[in-house]
Amino acid sequence: MKTVLVANRGEIACRVMRSCRSLGLRTVAVYSEADRQSMHVQSADAAVAIGPSSPRESYLNMERLIAAAQASGADAVHPGYGFLSENAEFAQAVLAAGMVWIGPTPQVIRDMGDKQRARELARASGLPILPGSARFPFGELGSLEDAGAQVGYPLLVKAAAGGGGIGMRRVDRSEQLRPMAEATQSMAQNAFGDGAIYLERFIERARHVEVQVFGFGDGNAIHLHERDCSTQRRFQKVIEESPAPLLAQTVRQRMADAATRLCADQRYGGAGTVEFVVDADTHEFFFLEMNTRIQVEHPVTEMNTGRDLVAMQIEHALGTLTAMAQSDIDAQGHAVECRIYAENPLKNFMPSPGRLLRFQLPEPQPGVRIDSGFRGGDEVTHFYDPMIAKVICHGATRDAAIDLALDVLGRIEVEGPHTNLAFLRATLAHPGFREGQVFTGFIDHHKRELTVP
């Protein structure tokens, strides 16, 4: 392997390229019309245009991505996160074209991408599963109400092929179920090409805790500890941290053991994340899903463990990754990640596209990492996710990491689009957050306090 095409854009494309350079590999960027002058394009050794600004005609177009890889002489593809990163057909196409796919096998991606199939595999590995229903294919909702009554309310209607919070709707009463199910099926059919859904019990005061795993493809696997991603809105993560606060060590260990067992049983190869929903009151945990890619929040794990997860992915694909055991993984201190979005918290977090007239980041300092795909003068367009940067801060204690994050966020200067900077600082400073009393409804519960002008 000498040349890696990064089939993505923005921050994660820049991030992958950094690890490629550290390993002496040449990089190729791909770009849509809207991204012609983007940072990730100028960070690569070569760049190939792949079409119009619409994601469907560019970053989601498998044929154009494969053609770009072949034209550029790439012999490997890294998908980043989002877009086609969990698309088994794309992984298969990369392999069929004679290139290295930097990720797990297409079959594992397919198994874990089907959320109901993933539940069955997790159950077979002994992981606890939330009560749920059978699959309802697109347009088939015959026994829906009976299934809803059996699962119990409140519940979630979930797209079988969904992920990352997309394709999930909460239902509190039986009369809401059918219209919500129909809407979710339509959305899933359009977004994923698979309109199948299923129902799953909803935990009112839930925490979202995930375990970073790494498998070696031979039935051996390790974990790199857990992350708490409970501070979210509309099922989208906003602040992530590691280790998870106020979680008993026995629960932490059982969760890590369960995630590693699933990874090993699937003969998983590469980096992955096993996500759990945790009852905030009882600390019972249940398997939620497995993401077969690098996560947006992977830097908090890297800050705590000193491991470069992307480099590990690449070296595993190369066959040069040094063998490691669980005893080789040590985590120190506490890390917090805040996602900076071009959005307006005062208008229900509506995206706020526009030119970054000024985007000034603090000077580098110990314990601080800022990952971004933007510079001053760049355009935040409406075509893609409005995240403009991630601020990751590490300290000896949770309080130290939070204090550092508050300081760094207060020194970032943005002119042009609205951002959620003030909202992030208000959340970090909130007494409930400082005490570690986080759950998935935290932002909604305290929204008025967190979005004061």
pLDDT at 163: 67
- Give domain 206-450's CATH superfamily: ATP-grasp fold, B domain (3.30.470.20)
Q: Does the pLDDT of residue 410 top 80, yes or no? A: yes
Condensed to tens digits (0 to 9), the pLDDT of residues 137-196 reads: 999 999 999 999 999 999 999 998 876 667 889 999 999 999 999 999 999 888 888 899
The verdict on whether 293 is a catalytic residue reads yes
Cite the residue boundaries of each domain of the chain with CATH code 3.40.50.20: 3-102
Average pLDDT of the segment spanning 354-378: 97
- What 3-state class would DSSP assign to 311? helix
Catalytic residue among 252, 293, 307, 425: 293
Question: How far apart, in whole angstroms, are the C-alpha atoms of residue 122 and residue 102?
Answer: 24
Assess contact for 28 and 6: CB atoms under 8 A. yes
CA separation, residue 443 to residues 229, 433, 435 (Å): 12, 10, 15
Beta strands 3-6 and 26-31, pairing class = parallel
The contacts of residue 311 (CB under 8 Å, 6+ apart) are: 19, 22, 23
Condensed to tens digits (0 to 9), the pLDDT of residues 106-147 reads: 999 999 998 889 999 999 999 999 989 999 999 999 999 999
Q: What is the pTM of this model?
A: 0.91
Cite the residue boundaries of each domain of the chain with CATH code 3.30.470.20: 206-450
Condensed to tens digits (0 to 9), the pLDDT of residues 259-307 reads: 999 999 999 999 999 999 999 999 999 999 999 999 999 999 999 999 9
Condensed to tens digits (0 to 9), the pLDDT of residues 28-57 reads: 999 999 999 999 999 999 999 999 999 999
Q: Does the pLDDT of residue 235 top 90, yes or no? A: no
Top-tier CATH class for 3-102: alpha beta
Top-tier CATH class for 131-201: alpha beta
- Residue 396, exposed/middle/buried by CB under 10 A (0-12, 13-18, 19+)? exposed
Average pLDDT, the chain: 96
pLDDT at 325: 96
